[in-house]
């Protein structure tokens, strides 16, 4: 039976903790949620020697054990709860060689919890270039630990780290310093009140302005202990931090040497340009244009290939399996179509996270966040909201997943709720065919009316996102008193392994988490379109043959299919909602398109292509655009006019017509409440905007 060692990987943000995690675990990792909260739980398996393996838990980045966010609470709860199945046998603290002083604050705090602790000095390959030298033996003696010099870029020191993890029982658990001297009398009374408890653990629980749900409060009953006020506890925390830094300074004075002439570089010059109040925005805008143009160009080839492959697979299923059988149709039109609807998003998700990962790994994304924060906070958003909002122009799904680095929950929630307003690529097929139908040809200052309409739809979507964020900020009363602090890491060349693992992990998360819901709803939609009650559906072929005796072959099949669709369950839904959508200028056929496009917005065009595949032999050579242009109401008036077209464009600009986005919102908020708020809120806005547009223009 193999032995397993629980390892907690802990460190400040931007110390290269993820690189160390990837170097230890490779592809043997998985991501889930901590029970009851939306913070990611990233864990992996690292093989050591002779049947020994390490279960490595990559904890969220934290600066100290003084919790100020949901992420930091997760770290503290685990380190204080010995009954947790993930409680570490050994804590590995990852530090950055250029910020060792700041990183050691967290290290000394965790040492005080008497957990066996290893110090990893990461990015060791930068030491000679930055003029840094370390006396490892002296540092190990003063810090009561073992130190691993690691360079994930050169794959150095990882084996040494694995050896230290395996031999964790040889590590000292003695604290680095005695922090109880900050108030000897108070700590002495604390020790007397709880003689069987670790003193520093008690202090961490008492001093936190948080409720740790996982800690057993029965054994820590503070009701009979006279503790201090919040302001007094804050002052003691400050005294503790000062005392720790005094100790750290004395250690580094002996154990670290820095050549000041080598320490400075091009970073300050780059920062002056990239965070400039004019050039900073211009450079960011050019980078974004380049990224999304690349996503559009590069993703179109694999997406077309996936689309055609699944279409071919569906045709092959229909030709190979028993013809006309319900099981054959279920597999070809339900399951295959459902899986295709999941897989077709993969290229966009992969390319978007490829670029985001490169920008984050290089250190540039922190500069963007700093640059945008002042603008975005006026509308109740964080500077970090700009990336999801703009990346939503490719696809809302990865954009919503990209909100995870927004620390403030309300700012993150607002960003999640408003991101689907930005025009995604799935809306383009709808926009292009409606614009071609209802917007006349012509030019204004060299730009066609149709191109200007398309650009205006993008601007309207982004404007509604920002406006909605402002309203939600007023409703949710987001706290604006907190200071915005962002880490400015050093610039570095992205590690290919880290970028690749990020892309694989994010893509896998979408496919397996949201994919299950998409597939299930796709099958439900197929069933609703393939079955219907009453004689009209069951005797469709006989009724159509009697009504249209002149039709034969493919024309007859199209007419029967259209008749069945009209009298199927989903057709009944279309007829049922027609009174509601008629004021917008739509008929029941468009209503079916609205319902089916909930699976994915681009389904709208395909649905109408099926519905309008009816009529005489003269229609055979007509495109879907021609058939839509010829479509008329019962009174002979055209269905697609300027009024109904603009109404439809505005409806799709604002409506939440995407079940996969709802699935991701459910996963990211860990609740059905917010996706339902989003669904009904956006649908109401879409309906009102479409209604006003049609009633004015008709």
Q: Locate the domains of the chain by residue range.
A: 3-177+249-261, 279-423+459-500, 514-697
Q: Three-class SS of residue 458?
A: helix
pLDDT level of residue 618 (50, 70, 90 thresholds): very low
**Average pLDDT for the chain:** 79
pLDDT tens per residue, range 389-409: 877 776 788 788 778 767 677
Mind listing the pLDDT tens digit for each residue in 363-379?
A: 787 787 778 777 777 78
What share of the chain has pLDDT > 90, as a percent? 19
d(CA 675, CA 659) in angstroms, rounded, equals 10
Mean pLDDT of 13-41: 68
Name 35's Cβ contacts closer than 8 Å, sequence gap at least 6.
none
Give the C-alpha separation, 196 to 219, whole Å. 10
Tens digit of pLDDT for each residue in 72-110? 777 888 888 888 888 999 999 999 888 889 899 999 999
pLDDT at position 447 is: 66
Cα dihedral: 628, 630, 635, 637 (round 10): 90
Residue 632 carries which DSSP code?
A: B
Q: How far is CA 543 from CA 529, 547, 549, 586, in A?
A: 19, 6, 10, 27
Give me the pLDDT at residue 292, please: 60
What are the pLDDT digits (tens) for 342-359? Answer: 677 678 678 877 887 888
Q: Is 130 within 8 Å of 46 (Cβ atoms)?
A: no
**Could you report how far apart the first and last alpha carbons of the chain are, in Å?**
77
Contact 46, 56 (CB under 8 A): yes
- Give the pLDDT band (50/70/90) at residue 331: confident
- We find that the CATH architecture of domain 3-177+249-261 is 3-Layer(aba) Sandwich (3.40)
Phi-psi region of 413 (alpha: psi -120 to 50; beta: other; left: phi over 0): alpha
Looking at residues 156-166, what average pLDDT do you find? 91
Q: Residue 648: its pLDDT value, please? A: 94
Contacts 24+ apart (CB under 8 A), 366-375: 366/14, 366/486, 366/487, 366/488, 366/489, 367/271, 367/274, 367/275, 367/280, 367/488, 368/284, 369/486, 370/275, 370/486, 370/488, 371/274, 371/275, 371/280, 371/281, 371/284, 372/284, 373/484, 373/486
Asked if pLDDT for residue 471 goes beyond 50, the answer is: yes
pLDDT confidence bin for 650, thresholds 50/70/90: very high
What is the rounded CA–CA span in Å between residue 78 and residue 88? 8
How far is it, in rounded angstroms, from Cα 260 to Cα 130?
8
**295 or 33, which is more confident?**
295
Residue 234: partners with Cβ closer than 8 Å, 6 or more residues away: none
Exposed e or buried b for every residue in 362-373, given b needs 16+ CB within 10 A?
bbbbbbbbbbbb
User: How far is it, in rounded angstroms, from Cα 656 to Cα 678?
Assistant: 7
pTM: 0.61
Is pLDDT of 636 > 50? yes
Return the pLDDT at 695: 94
Q: Could you tell me the CA-to-CA distances from 396 to 241, 292, 390, 415 in Å, in that order?
A: 42, 13, 10, 11
> DSSP E strands: which ranges in 237-317?
256-258
The DSSP result for 243-259, as a single string, is HHHHHHHHHHHHHEEE-
**pLDDT band per the 50, 70, 90 thresholds, residue 117:** very high
For 63-72, what is the mean pLDDT?
72
3-class state of residue 119 by DSSP: strand
Q: Angle between the 449-476 and 428-438 helix axes, to the nearest 10 degrees?
A: 130
For the chain, what percent of residues have pLDDT higher than 70? 82
Look at residue 532 and tell me whether its pLDDT is greater than 80: yes
Tell me how far apart the alpha carbons of residues 558 and 537 are, in angstroms, rounded to a whole number: 14
**Which residues, including other chains, have CB under 8 Å from residue 697's CB and lie 6 or more apart?**
642, 643, 646, 647
pLDDT recorded at residue 9:
93
Residue 512 has pLDDT above 90, yes or no: no
User: Residue 506 pLDDT > 60, yes or no?
Assistant: yes
- In the structure, what pLDDT confidence band is assigned to residue 613 with cuts at 50, 70 and 90? very low
What local confidence, expressed as pLDDT, does residue 570 receive?
A: 80
Identify the pLDDT of residue 345: 66
Which residues fall within 8 angstroms of residue 56, CB to CB, at 6 or more apart? Answer: 7, 9, 21, 24, 25, 43, 44, 45, 46
Answer for the pair 27, 501: CB distance below 8 angstroms, yes or no.
yes
> For residues 241 and 270, which has the higher predicted lDDT (pLDDT)?
241
Q: What is the pLDDT of residues 209-249, one digit of tens each?
A: 544 444 444 455 555 566 777 788 888 888 988 999 999 99
Q: What is the DSSP string of 315-356?
A: HHHHHHSPTT-HHHHIIIIIIHHHHHHHHTTHHHHHHHHHHH
* 54, 26 Cβ separation under 8 angstroms: no
Residue 225 has what pLDDT? 64
| Rounded mean pLDDT, 8-18 | 86
Higher-confidence residue of 602 and 597: namely: 597
């Amino acid at each position: 039976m193999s032995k397993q060692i629980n390892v907690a990987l802990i460190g400040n943000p931007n110390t290269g903790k993820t690189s160390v995690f990837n170097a230890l675990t490779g592809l043997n990792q998985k991501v889930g949620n901590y029970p009851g909260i939306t913070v990611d739980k990233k864990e992996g398996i690292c093989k050591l020697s002779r049947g020994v393996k390490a279960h490595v838990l990559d904890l969220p980045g934290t600066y100290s054990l003084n919790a100020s966010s949901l992420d930091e609470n997760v770290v503290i709860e685990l380190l204080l709860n010995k009954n947790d199945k993930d409680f570490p046998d050994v804590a590995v603290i990852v530090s950055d060689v250029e910020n060792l002083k700041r990183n050691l604050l967290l290290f000394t705090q965790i040492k005080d919890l008497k957990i066996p602790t290893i110090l990893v000095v990461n990015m060791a390959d930068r030491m000679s270039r930055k003029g840094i030298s370390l006396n490892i033996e002296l540092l190990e003696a003063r810090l009561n630990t073992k130190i691993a010099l690691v360079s994930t870029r050169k794959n150095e020191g990882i084996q040494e780290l694995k050896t230290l993890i395996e031999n964790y029982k040889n590590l000292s658990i003695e604290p680095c310093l005695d922090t109880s001297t900050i108030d000897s009398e108070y700590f002495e009374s604390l020790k007397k009140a709880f003689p069987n408890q670790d003193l520093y653990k008690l202090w961490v629980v008492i001093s936190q302005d948080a409720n740790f749900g996982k800690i057993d409060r029965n054994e820590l009953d503070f009701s009979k202990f006279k503790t201090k006020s919040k302001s007094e506890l804050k002052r003691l925390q400050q005294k503790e931090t000062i005392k720790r830094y005094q100790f750290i300074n004395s250690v580094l004075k002996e154990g670290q040497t820095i050549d000041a002439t080598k320490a400075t570089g091009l970073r300050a010059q780059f920062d002056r340009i990239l965070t400039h109040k004019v050039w900073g925005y211009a450079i960011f805008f050019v980078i974004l244009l380049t990224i999304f143009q690349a996503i559009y160009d590069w993703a179109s080839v694999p997406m077309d290939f996936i689309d055609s492959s699944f279409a071919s697979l569906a045709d092959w299923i229909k030709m190979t399996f028993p013809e006309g059988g319900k099981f054959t149709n279920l597999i070809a039109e339900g399951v295959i179509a459902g899986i295709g609807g999941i897989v077709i998003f993969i290229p966009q998700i992969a390319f978007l996270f490829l670029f985001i990962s490169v920008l984050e790994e290089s250190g540039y994304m922190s500069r963007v966040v700093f640059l945008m924060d002042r603008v975005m906070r006026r509308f109740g958003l964080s500077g970090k909201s700009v990336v999801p909002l703009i990346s939503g122009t490719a696809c809302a799904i990865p954009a919503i997943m990209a909100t995870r680095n927004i620390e403030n929950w309300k700012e993150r929630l607002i960003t999640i709720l408003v991101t689907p307003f930005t025009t995604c690529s799935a809306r383009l097929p709808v926009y292009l065919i409606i614009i071609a139908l209802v917007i006349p040809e012509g030019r204004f200052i060299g730009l066609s009316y149709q191109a200007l309409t398309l650009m205006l739809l993008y601007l309207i979507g982004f404007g509604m996102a920002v406006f909605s964020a402002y309203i939600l900020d007023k409703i949710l009363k987001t706290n604006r008193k907190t200071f915005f602090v962002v880490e400015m890491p050093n610039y570095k060349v992205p590690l290919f392994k880290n970028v690749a693992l990020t892309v694989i992990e994010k893509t896998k998360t979408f496919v397996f988490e949201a994919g299950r819901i998409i597939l299930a709803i796709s099958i439900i939609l197929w069933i609703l379109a393939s079955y219907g009650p009453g004689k009209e559906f069951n005797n469709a072929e006989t009724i159509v043959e009697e009504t249209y005796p002149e039709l034969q072959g493919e024309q007859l099949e199209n007419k029967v299919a259209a008749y069945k669709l009209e009298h199927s369950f989903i057709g009944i839904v279309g007829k049922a909602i027609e009174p509601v959508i008629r004021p917008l200028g739509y008929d029941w056929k468009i209503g079916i398109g609205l319902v089916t496009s909930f699976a994915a917005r681009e389904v709208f065009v395909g649905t109408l292509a099926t519905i309008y595949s009816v009529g005489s032999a003269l229609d055979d050579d007509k495109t879907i655009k021609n058939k839509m242009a010829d479509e008329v109401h019962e009174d002979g008036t055209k269905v697609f006019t300027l009024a109904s077209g603009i109404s439809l464009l505005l409806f799709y600009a604002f409506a939440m017509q995407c079940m996969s986005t709802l699935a991701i919102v459910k996963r990211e908020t860990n609740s059905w409440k917010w996706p339902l708020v989003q669904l009904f809120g956006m649908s109401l806005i879409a309906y009102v905007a479409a209604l006003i547009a049609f009633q004015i223009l008709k």
